[in-house]
Amino acid sequence: NAGVTQTPKFQVLKTGQSMTLQCAQDMNHNSMYWYRQDPGMGLRLIYYSASEGTTDKGEVPNGYNVSRLNKREFSLRLESAAPSQTSVYFCASSGPGQGSTEQFFGPGTRLTVL
Amino acid sequence: AQSVAQPEDQVNVAEGNPLTVKCTYSVSGNPYLFWYVQYPNRGLQFLLKYITGDNLVKGSYGFEAEFNKSQTSFHLKKPSALVSDSALYFCAVRDPRNYKLSFGAGTTVTVRA
């Protein structure tokens, strides 16, 4: 039982490049989330998916897109990376029911945009 | 709107002394409250939660937290801190009517030997 896994662990991009961050969970959770963590700002929600087939914007969605590929996988795409997107990105999941309580986090992806 | 405030950026305590990390929240209605811990270069780990019931909640690694509705607080406590408790601690609140979890800015705890 791996919990929540994320790939890659580290990534360096140049401004304007695109990339997709992958997330998968094996806990049969319905809900999945993408956050970014910046110093002194805690975690901010980018997008979430309450259940398979649905996605909604969080606090800071601009510059990102998501895909809930199936119940296990939730990817985050940066179409044209900007230096302001330099951050640590965390995926999380919760369940089994919709809106269930605590979230479980992956190990994070450290992204640098030059 | 829901929000969390962690008024202390840093807390420093000696090993064996009590540890308190403060958290206040703002949310409409009855809150769901959480504490998470983050060790360097790791993801967040769930410590404990308050959903309903007893105001004193016990969690992992000897931590506990007390929900105080009148003061809108949910302070994290540990009676006797360990050096291994040194980490970044986040308080979070959720309005049960939505999925959004709002985090505080975090408090860095340093426990000196």
pLDDT in tens, B65-104: 999 999 999 999 999 999 999 999 999 998 877 778 899 9
Contacts of B20 (CB under 8 A, 6+ apart): B11, B75, B76, B77
Strand partners, B73: B24, B68
Residues A70, A32, A4: CA angle, nearest 5 degrees: 90
CB contact (8 A) between residue A45 and residue B51? no
Please list, in sequence order, all residues whose beta carbon lies within 8 angstroms of the beta carbon of residue A29, skipping any fewer than 6 positions away.
A93, A94, A95, A96, A100, A104
From first CA to last CA, the distance across chain A in angstroms is: 36
What percent of chain B lies above the pLDDT cut of 90?
79
d(CA A22, CA A17): 17
Give the nearest chain B residue to A95 (CA atoms): B99
Distances (CA, A) of A29 to A57, A73, A90, B71, B106: 19, 10, 16, 34, 26
> What pLDDT score was predicted for residue A102?
87
Residue B53 in this model has a pLDDT that exceeds 70: yes
Mean pLDDT per block of 10 residues along chain A (114 residues) reads: 91 97 93 93 92 91 95 96 97 73 92 97
Q: Read off the pLDDT of each residue in B24-48 and give the average, rounded to a whole number.
A: 92
Higher model confidence: residue B30 or residue B8? B8
B7 touches chain A (CB under 8 A): no
How far away is chain B from the Cα of A62, in angstroms, using its nearest Cα? 17
Is the Cβ–Cβ distance between A39 and A24 less than 8 Å?
no
Query: Does B42 lie at the interface with A, CB-CB under 8 angstroms?
Result: yes
| Predicted pLDDT of residue A79 | 94
Decide if B4 contacts B91 (C-beta within 8 A). Answer: yes
CB A102 within 8 A of CB A94: yes
